[in-house]
């Protein structure tokens, strides 16, 4: 199945390229080599630097030579059609792909000038440093309090109960959930509504004070009101954290991000400021995607 789909896409890709060159598009710097990323991959103030990242799932080449920076206090949105590898790439950033047996990552991803795929790198502190929020809200089947307290406890971030209470409260406040749950911290986190659960998951991530937060379609399971709250929260979090968010909603990317990266079939096609990507895409594929011609 997969192979067929890939073959189709490849045809499509070639057609598109042929098509664009025939048209002689003048505004876009169309390159015959789709693997070359268009735009500025470098951030002004980089927090994480990825260079030449390739991911293979067994024989499948899922991410092809992707280079991009994650800037400090900046939200990087990753968009692209399904199966383009944006989630895969995101999961490389805190090595969540390690859990997949035949996943193989090459290239360099570094945080604080330390390559995270280096042998000396321990994934446990890395994941505390680079937190993650998942597509489906996944609170632990424990109390709200324990959900937040779990991370700090296992990392030994707090000395006593009082400090932990403070940390839990602080995290919930930052996630904008404190007012809603302060009187029922002992109740199970799974009893909250979907939007509250997702904010609980964000609070849980914040509780271990990461520097980078990765979000994998955090709003795809939420209704518009809950989505708005989470988006607002993301905007607030930007002040203190570096954020990378994968999203299917281009409106969302436009609303929350400062920079946007467009992925297509494992290639990073174009990176640039969100404004530029949505108003003046330089690559034909990007334009086709954001104008809704496919995807």
Partner 1 sequence: MNDTTQKRNTMEIVKANLAKRYAREQRFRAYGIAAISLGMMFLLMLFISIIGNGYGAFMQTYVKLDIEFTADRIDPEGTRTEDALSAGNYGGLVKDSLKRMFPNVKKRTPKKQLYGLASSGAAYQLRKMVMDNPDLIGTTQSIWVTADDDVDMLVKGHIDRTLPEADRRMNDSQISWIERLEKEGRIEKRFNITFFTAGDSREPELAGIWGAAVGSIYTLLVTLALSFPIGVATAVYLEEFAPCNKWTDIIEVNINNLAAVPSIVFGLLGLAVFINFFGLPRSAPVVGGLVLTLMTLPTIIIASRAALKSVPPSIREAALGVGASKMQTITHHVLPLAMPGMLTGTIIGMAQALGETAPLLMIGMVAFIVDIPGGAFDPSTVLPVQIYLWADSPERAFVEKTSAAIMVLLGFLIMMNAIAVILRKRFERRW
Residues lying near partner 1 in the complex (CB under 8 A): 94, 96, 99, 101, 124-128, 131-134, 136, 138-141, 150-151, 154-155, 190, 201, 204-205, 207-208
CB of 246 to partner 1, least distance (A): 14
Which lies closer to partner 1 via its Cβ, residue 136 or residue 293? 136
Which lies closer to partner 1 via its Cβ, residue 51 or residue 155? 155
Which lies closer to partner 1 via its Cβ, residue 117 or residue 140? 140
Q: How many CB atoms lie within 10 A of CB 25?
A: 15
Residue 120, H or E segment: none
Which lies closer to partner 1 via its Cβ, residue 134 or residue 241? 134
CB of 3 to partner 1, least distance (A): 22
Residue 140, H or E segment: none
Which lies closer to partner 1 via its Cβ, residue 126 or residue 271? 126
Integer CA distances (angstroms), 110 to 67, 103, 275, in order: 11, 19, 27
CB of 250 to partner 1, least distance (A): 26
Rounded to 5°, angle at Cα 52 from 51 and 55: 120
CB of 60 to partner 1, least distance (A): 17
Which lies closer to partner 1 via its Cβ, residue 124 or residue 225? 124
Integer CA distances (angstroms), 234 to 77, 150, 191, 225, 244, in order: 11, 22, 23, 14, 10
CB of 23 to partner 1, least distance (A): 44
Are 210 and 181 spatial neighbours (Cβ–Cβ below 8 Å)? no
DSSP 182: G
CB of 124 to partner 1, least distance (A): 5
């Amino acid at each position: 199945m997969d192979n067929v789909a890939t073959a189709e896409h490849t045809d499509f890709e070639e057609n598109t390229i042929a098509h664009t060159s025939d048209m002689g598009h003048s505004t876009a710097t169309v390159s015959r080599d789709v693997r070359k990323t268009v735009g500025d991959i470098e951030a002004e103030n980089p927090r994480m630097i990825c260079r030449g990242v390739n991911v293979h799932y067994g024989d499948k080449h899922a991410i092809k030579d992707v280079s991009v920076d994650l800037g400090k206090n900046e939200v990087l949105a990753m968009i692209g059609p399904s199966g383009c590898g944006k989630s895969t790439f995101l999961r490389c950033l805190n090595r969540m792909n390690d859990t997949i047996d035949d996943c193989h990552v090459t290239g360099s991803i570094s945080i604080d000038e330390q390559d995270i795929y280096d042998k000396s790198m321990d994934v446990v502190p890395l994941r505390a440093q680079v937190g993650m929020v998942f597509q489906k809200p996944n609170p632990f089947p424990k109390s709200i309090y324990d959900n937040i307290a779990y991370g700090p406890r296992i990392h030994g971030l707090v000395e006593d109960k009082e400090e932990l209470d403070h940390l839990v409260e602080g995290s919930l406040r930052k996630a904008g959930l404190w007012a809603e749950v302060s009187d029922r911290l002992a109740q199970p986190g799974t009893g909250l509504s979907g939007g509250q659960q997702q904010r609980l998951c964000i609070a849980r991530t914040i509780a271990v004070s990461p520097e980078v937060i990765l979000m994998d379609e955090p709003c795809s399971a939420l209704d518009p009101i809950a989505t708005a709250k989470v988006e607002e929260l993301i905007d607030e979090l930007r002040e203190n954290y570096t954020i990378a968010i994968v999203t299917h909603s281009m409106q969302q990317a436009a609303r929350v991000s400062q920079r946007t990266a467009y992925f297509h079939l494992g290639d990073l096609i174009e990176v640039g400021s969100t404004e530029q990507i949505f108003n003046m895409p330089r690559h034909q594929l990007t334009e086709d995607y954001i104008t809704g011609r496919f995807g």
